[in-house]
A and B are shown apart, each in its own frame.
Chain A
């Protein structure tokens, strides 16, 4: 369709167009950009409401919700992102997203790598417990996040009993062949750190006898570890006896 030249447009219309465009851009430019502050995080809707809102495609909604959730308190002006979030609400949101998309790993990655790393111990602990609870629902797929939680409990919180609980959970519940041995053997190393040498020795001995370990390198490594533990155990026992005889 042919068009007339711009000269056919009255000047008033052109002026109004330019003025309107300038005013619109000016208005939006002076309006502060939207930011999702921590206190703006609303309570998570019920799973039924979210399923209704997903129009039969809960996975797509879960992915979008995760991006939405992640934006809260990220650029709030706080030096430490996520520190001011209400962790009760946050956990509810993460749990809902996992219910919508149980195979999705993003919520637990965010829980372990973003939200569990804020320098507030109570919030860290609450997030680690959340990861533990979610791990128990699907241990063969969610073990990496509990393994990370174990490392956080050990190195950040310096809470060895907590780290041991998580490591034991991986060892007991993650039975898939895809779960690497280092994850299943975390329990042994934490026991060593706790000076529970006899228990660690028994566990390694159990591993070796069970025949579940086929890799020669793994077998050699565990065998050496067992010998070291036995040597340390003997040293510990003889030292104890010597102290008792001195008494």
Chain B
């Protein structure tokens, strides 16, 4: 649909005009410089240290930039009544949603590629490809979640807190499940209730803890099949979050 493509292009222009890509380049250069500095300090495993200390902050920075961009851009549109103008066009609300999502998804993919660029001299190539694809998947989930939260809350702070909480919880859920299931005593009713709540939350969160692993860049690269669960989880979660966001959007009176 032409309106989807137009909205995606407009979102991409917005990212360029906001100097988002320049910001990403600056972050990449700073991370690269920091890794070079730590390489000088390290006594051994300098390549591994460089790779790990580049990959982890770049991943977090990419997630942060995407989340902030999606939320602030959407809130600005809502405040300036541009959303209302766009929704008055003869197109379904889903076209507006998918147009915005497509634009943000392209920005997320570009950010993922930029984040992978400084890792190229240090990481094995297959591991780097898997890492990059996985980062794209992770950023797509964050993008969809950002859109969902901003359409629900319509304000920067609550939407950002919700996305940050979602991301941190998803990343640490496996560790929380392990801890919850290892109480070294006979479980009381409270223990069982807490465990059940943790398991329930885990059912509804994506397995981000299995995505974009630094170990893929360090040792021998894992097989391409590693990406199967990552892509499958991303597809399912995008369907869930996008439909939830559409549900909110269709019910909303502007």
Contact = CB atoms under 8 A, between A and B. Distances in A.
B203 A24 contact: yes
Interface stretch (A30-38, A174-182, A198-206, A233-241): A30-38
A35 B182 CA distance: 9
A13 B181 contact: no
A36 B182 contact: yes
B181 A71 contact: yes
Interface string B180-224: 011010000000000000010011101100000000000000000
A74 B253 CA distance: 52
Given A8-B250, A33-B177, A24 B182 contact: no
Contacts of A9: 246-247, 250-251
A31 B236 contact: no
A157 interface: no
A126 interface: no
Query: Which 10 residue pairs of A and B lie closest in terms of their CB atoms, listed nearest first?
Result: A20-B240, A71-B182, A17-B243, A20-B239, A16-B243, A74-B182, A34-B174, A9-B250, A71-B178, A23-B236
Interface residues of A, number: 35
B179 A67 contact: yes
Interface in A1-35: 1-6, 8-10, 13-14, 16-17, 19-21, 23-25, 27-29, 31, 33-35
A21 B240 contact: yes
Contacts of B92: 10
A172 to B, nearest CB: 33
Interface of B: 92, 94, 174-175, 177-179, 181-182, 184, 199, 202-204, 206-207, 232-233, 236-237, 239-244, 246-247, 250-253
Nearest to B97: A13
A27 B233 contact: yes
Given A31-B207, A74-B181, 19 more contacts: A9-B246, A10-B250, A13-B94, A14-B243, A16-B242, A17-B240, A17-B243, A21-B240, A23-B236, A24-B240, A25-B203, A28-B202, A29-B203, A33-B177, A34-B174, A34-B177, A68-B178, A71-B178, A74-B182
B243 A20 contact: yes
Contacts of B244: 17, 20
B42 to A, nearest CB: 12
Contacts of A35: 178, 181
Contacts of B247: 9, 13-14, 17
Interface of A: 1-6, 8-10, 13-14, 16-17, 19-21, 23-25, 27-29, 31, 33-36, 67-68, 70-71, 74-75, 81, 114
Given A20-B243, A23-B239, A36-B182, A13 B177 contact: no
Contacts of A25: 203-204
A1 B233 CA distance: 34
Contacts of B243: 13-14, 16-17, 19-20
Contact of B251 (A8, A16, A20, A71): A8
7 contacts: A1-B252, A20-B236, A20-B242, A21-B240, A25-B203, A28-B203, A70-B182
Contact of A70 (B94, B184, B202): B184
Contacts of B182: 36, 70-71, 74-75
A44 to B, nearest CB: 16
B191 to A, nearest CB: 13
A24 B178 contact: no
A106 to B, nearest CB: 12
A198 to B, nearest CB: 44
Contacts of A4: 250-253
A52 to B, nearest CB: 11
B184 A33 contact: no
A101 to B, nearest CB: 17
A23 B237 CA distance: 9
Most buried by B among A19, A34, A81: A34
B253 A1 contact: yes
Nearest to B252: A3
A75 B181 CA distance: 8
Most chain B C-beta atoms within 10 Å of own C-beta, residue among A5, A13, A81: A13
A27 B179 contact: no
A24 B204 contact: yes
B94 A33 contact: no
Contact of B237 (A5, A14, A24, A81): A24
